[in-house]
Structure 1
């Protein structure tokens, strides 16, 4: 390892990344291994030239990587990165993910469609295989849960117009699909309006209860001292107020959709805070947003969803020595109770230093024991 670090230093590779082994049961660890290996490509080549033992050792397996191998890795990493980033984004549990799934799913769909026409044959073959698997789950518009569209409509940075634009890019006739723009729009808008009406009715029950409560403390309609003219006037005012409330309710969705979009370049945008702030302006839609945006995209962590192995400490466990792994496993109950992710990639240098200190400590202990034995 020290020889490799020397080669990296001589090649002037200024990076905080460290090489790591992959885990056979986790594809994303393979991506991280290949990504870091590309950074140290020149260091590997120098090591092969300066250290004959390195080459001899690898010849026992499949040999050292050649130019063709590096070219294949360079082609593969961009594909894996897309899925790795998507997995990390939608597997979160401490932030809203339901409005991100739409962008992830159809972003991947458009990328794969583009790569199927690539001039690079290996890219084309890989993209076609990936697209076939993608279309198995997302290829038919009718089979997709409509809440996927509603979540992005309730994102004030995109709304209905953006959702329909993306769907047309993927399923539209002009792009090889079978759906027209109008049909796609009516499908999404129909679900949106039906859902809005349902929430309006639920809120109307509450409003009705409030109206009845207010009416109970109002002057009695059968009050004998009240004239006929006053009775009709008051009844008309109540009816007009109820009608105006109904009109406001019906136009709330339209007002939201016609309002200006929020800045999608703002990385600090908090969609929950936005709806909380505008709940007075959009009372019904804010209730919809509260329920829809609370839906988690994934009900399990990415470690469980994309692994064929058992429970592990992290994706870099095979890069650790038995001594460190044993130490970590002894404290597994404490580690698993933590709400913070365990990212060993960033701690490799500290782990190496700790391991070296432990070795030196063990050597010192052995020296002391041998001295005591000699004295006896």
Structure 2
């Protein structure tokens, strides 16, 4: 990783996003020490180790799927049987024609270790509830082989289970697709996705980020609204205080980074100061941060942008002059 940073010419690093796995912790700590020794980390590396939101969602869904492991397993074996040979697939298609179904896609066999493919399999299988039932009547080997090798044929109860869980899985599937994009900014949308999942789950049950602050459509007001809506008052106050403190710290460091210091650059450095006998850096910190507070207050006090198609990076490029 350090070699890559050198080859890319990256002298300052804000964060590194990795899977939420303990095996990554040792490597990240070692890299952090190396980058700190080179004075390459923003805010002394306070925000360096970021855990991948998509990976955390993946762990949550895998745990949840254990509750329907029996139903998902029987459906998986049913799909496997239908796709295991050209003759069996032809029988399955004949059952589709017999039922005069509008849906003409094929059933999808998942990769068991990838929950998103399991979701796709369950969605496709849910379209063929009558087809699986008809196949059991037409093909006796279908019943005997699945009973012998698996947990039996998919039942009506199994299909009820997956029809109940598919809407929940869709929330996680769509969120994972959105926050895993590589051609657009994602740090300002993950809070939307996570809070959206939480709200939708609450609604379904009832029926039976710092980066977000720099999105001119949201700023701190959306975060404040979400926190008040989904947390109790004690947690609400603590989260808002932490958010505001982090935002101010980021702006202070950004402000100091652009201070026009005078003197020998080899002797006086803003970050990781080598020599500062006169307290120059402390002075610039206090003076510069006052200006930063004013700029920050002005930005947060301005009206929100209402264009939902706005490109956040392009907006800052145009408005940062």
Distance (Å, rounded) in 2 between the aligned partners of 1:264 and 1:47? 52
Give the Cα separation in 2 of the matches to 1:56 and 1:194: 66
Give, in angstroms, the shift of residue 163 of structure 1. 0.6
Superposed CA offset, 1:216-246 (max 9, x none): xxxxxxxxxxxxxxxxxxxxxxxxxxxxx99
Conserved 8 A contact 2:227-2:236: no
Question: Which residue of 210, 216, 223 corresponds with 1:163?
Answer: 223
Is residue 67 from structure 1 mapped to residue 108 from structure 2 by the alignment?
Answer: no
TM superposition score normalised by structure 1 = 0.48
Equivalent-residue separation in structure 1 for 2:289 and 2:218 (angstroms): 27
Q: Secondary structure at the match of 1:262?
A: coil
Match of 1:86 in 2: 175
Aligned to 2:14: none
The size of the alignment, in residue pairs, is 208
2: CA distance between counterparts of 1:54 and 1:47?
7
Q: Does 1:277 align with 2:321?
A: no
Query: What's 1:153 paired with?
Result: 213
1:42 partnered with 2:98: no
Match of 2:298 in 1: 255
Equivalents in 2 of 1:45, 1:109: separation in Å? 36
Q: CA deviation at 1:196?
A: 1.4
CA contact (8 A) 1:164 1:184 kept: no
Two-structure CA RMSD over aligned residues (Å):
3.0
Distance 1:259 1:8, change over 3 A: farther
**1:185 equivalent in structure 2:** 240
Return the offset for 1:70. 0.9
2:259 aligns to what SS in structure 1? Answer: helix
**Structure 1 unaligned spans of 5+:** 120-148, 210-244, 281-376
1:198 and 2:198 correspond = no
Task: Considering Cα pairs closer than 8 Å and 6+ residues apart, tell me whether 1 or 2 has the greater RCO.
Answer: 1
1:21 equivalent among 102, 109, 120: 109
Q: Deviations over 1:148-182 (max 9, x none)?
A: x2111111121100011112223223xxxx3345x
1:112–1:14 distance in 2 versus 1, CA, 3 Å: same
Q: What is the CA–CA distance in structure 1 between the aligned matches of 2:104 and 2:214, rounded to whole Å?
A: 39
Q: Is the 8 A contact 1:160 1:257 kept in 2?
A: yes
Change (3 A) 1:23 1:180: closer
- Looking at structure 1, the residues matched to 217 and 250 of structure 2 have their Cα atoms a distance apart, in angstroms, of 20
TM-score normalised to structure 2 length: 0.55
Q: Deviations over 1:25-71 (max 9, x none)?
A: 22222221111101222322333344444334333333322221111
Distance 1:5 1:72, change over 3 A: same
